[in-house]
Amino acid sequence: MKLAIHGYGATGHYVEELAPAEVVAVIDQTKSAEKIPSYQTVSELTEEVDAIIDFSHPSLLPDLLAYGLKTKTPLVIATTGFSEAELQTIKDASTEIPIFQSYNMSFGIAMMQQLLQVLVPLASSFDIELLEKHHNQKVDAPSGTAELLLRTIQELRDVQPVYERESTREKRQASEIGMHSMRGGTIFGEHEVLFAGVDELIEIKHTALSKKVFASGAIKAAEALIQKSAGLYTLETLYSQEDSHVTN
């Protein structure tokens, strides 16, 4: 498998470290890769690759999709902070090429989603709150993973997110789900879903101890994706035995 890394920040470096034989090119404005051919833009890429792993910036999405569509290259998109319009362009492109898009590449988060599938219907009388913590350099809030977990919960229960309560002076409604963000230090990523009932609490929590977990997940996703047909894949569908994917 031949990979190109789109975005050469900390996680991109870990992709290179964990899959050294597979990485044949790096696309980054700094062109700072030392031992691998590097390019400032994806349109300059000359190496043939089986997949591109993207840990870059939403502003680079149009060029990435254009290259993927032109060359029919599978894309693993792990960048966060996309708008709804940008997510729609990813979905549109996936009708022609296989694309894996997730705000979290961790297998543990996929397990957390599976636990929510079981617990949310069972805990129908419990209030739900969602807390995420990240490092002090993260600019988007709440995190993409928090939004991913929110969508999982909303598929199972009619709840509306509340991002702040300072402006309202009233008791909590049963239809609410509180979304809380904390930023500080070098926290890689921590997500917790709290189910609060009468005199009892249930907490599901995932903590990433290193960005390596995201790089490793992206590599595994690329390995699986190159065997797939066109479609938009998620953590829940990518590893299914059948060739199932999101199409709507």
Task: Provide the annotated binding site for NAD(+).
Answer: 34, 78-80, 102-105
Q: What are the φ and ψ backbone dihedral angles of 43, each rounded to 5 degrees?
A: -65, -20
Give the DSSP H/E element, type plus range, for residue 182.
Answer: strand 176-183
**Which residues are marked as active site?**
134, 138
User: What CA–CA distances, in Å, run from 124 to 78, 112, 140, 195?
Assistant: 32, 18, 30, 10
173 secondary structure, DSSP code: P
Give the DSSP H/E element, type plus range, for residue 18.
Answer: helix 10-18
Give the DSSP H/E element, type plus range, for residue 134.
Answer: strand 127-134
Enumerate the known binding-site residues for NADP(+).
Answer: 35
Q: Which two tokens stand for residue 246?
A: 């999101």
Is 183 within 8 Å of 189 (Cβ atoms)?
A: no
Beta carbons within 10 angstroms of residue 170's beta carbon: 6
Spatial separation of the C-alpha atoms in residues 7 and 135, rounded to whole Å: 19
Enumerate the known binding-site residues.
Answer: 34-35, 78-80, 102-105, 135, 144-145
60 secondary structure, DSSP code: G
With H, G, I as helix, E, B as strand and everything else as coil, classify residue 85.
helix
Given CA atoms 25, 31, 33, 37 in this order, what sign does their dihedral have?
Answer: positive
